[in-house]
Structure 1
């Protein structure tokens, strides 16, 4: 399927499958625009993907909320001894820094982990993007730790880092949607590993979900 079909799918509140690269995680993520997320989306990501359901957010939005990368938060903490700080991962095995920040629940949730609770947290974060008082609303409406990990897209997106975090946010921007996306890695229950791109493409074809190769998206971004 073409990039245009993927953009149209996102605009309809439907999924896109996004493959990063064999040189990176070599994984395929289910991606949906956060502004459209419902409990059904969360249920489908749990059952059809099975990885960690995360929320990727654009750099300027993250900065407006004063969000930091988790590895930096831990490195700067005075409550962690120097030996324990050796555990902090600055660079992943595939060469990039992790994009994890804090994890959150919306204060209207109960446990925070149900499909309804996570959908509420994710959708409310997308709506917060358009607030004139985002920082204050973030502090008063959300709590940490929670069940929705936040991923901070790099400033410059694909020019800086070519991960699912940046690619999914870039896709949302191309679709003129709020640059906040819910993403989840696709796992393979038979091999107990990440689902191969070939199996993910077969799944995409069966369920008429656009499949986007990160290499194509990167080339497109360079042209633009």
Structure 2
């Protein structure tokens, strides 16, 4: 399914990415941010229900100057430390800052979050190609779009949804800026099971790919 997932990412379609049984055991909606529409945001909040975030390639995050939230908040005494996360004890989370584009109103509406994600992709594209847009002139924080900064070694170091989605974007040759959202279960209060996520994918004709497939492709082709 990895080839189909790469093609779907290239075509700007939503794909379903399951990480690992031994990790979060969660499936995320994922779509390249430059193809994201307000209908996609609506679908994420209705059919997925988790936190809508935008994952960014480490090279672009570095050039833009996006910090890890754990580093930015260190002086508060509340910041997480390596080993604090039960599903990933060797790394800290990929959370960076939360932003709104300055042309949004509240930042939370489907239209507003779509604009923010679309423009984030423009900045990532520029950064990856050696350019540099003025990030602070377009975005303000705090906001309603959580930014995720992928690990600098991607899947060689960390194997979260952030790195999996950015790896697939790399394979597809598209701007490595991907908007993702976890699928939750209304009945159990937990993450949607892998089985149910796969059934959702079949019902709605969405490609489902596992972290194991992505990692194998990464090791063989990177």
- Quick check: 1:15 aligned with 2:8? no
Q: Structure 1, unaligned stretches of length 5 or more?
A: none
Cα RMSD (Å) of the superposition?
A: 1.0
Q: Which runs of 4+ in 1 moved over 6 A?
A: none
Q: Which residue of 1 aligns with 2:160?
A: 163
Deviates more, 1:6-15 or 1:17-26: 6-15
Alignment partners' CA distance in 2, 1:187 and 1:57: 23
Is 1:153 aligned to residue 150 of structure 2?
yes
Deviation at 1:125, TM superposition (A): 0.5
Match of 2:26 in 1: 27
Match of 2:50, SS state, is: coil
- 1:109-130 deviation line (CA, Å, top 9, x unaligned): 0000000000000000001123
CA distance in 1, matches of 2:41, 2:147: 15
Tell me how far apart the structure 2 counterparts of residues 149 and 199 of structure 1 sit (CA, whole Å).
26
TM-score by length of 1: 0.93
Q: Which structure 2 residue ranges, 5 or more long, are not aligned?
A: none
1:194 aligned to which of 188, 191, 196: 191
- Paired residues, number: 213
Rounded Cα–Cα distance in structure 2 between residues aligned with 1:130 and 1:56: 13
Matched, 1:109 2:100: no
Deviation (angstroms), 1:149: 0.5
Q: CA deviation at 1:88?
A: 2.3
Between 88-97 and 197-206, report the one with greater CA deviation.
Answer: 88-97
Separation of aligned partners in 2, 1:212 and 1:106: 31
Q: Does the CA contact (< 8 Å) of 2:19 and 2:27 recur in 1?
A: yes
Q: Deviations over 1:67-121 (max 9, x none)?
A: 111011111x3xx3xxxx1x32223111231110100000000000000000000
1:92 corresponds to: 85
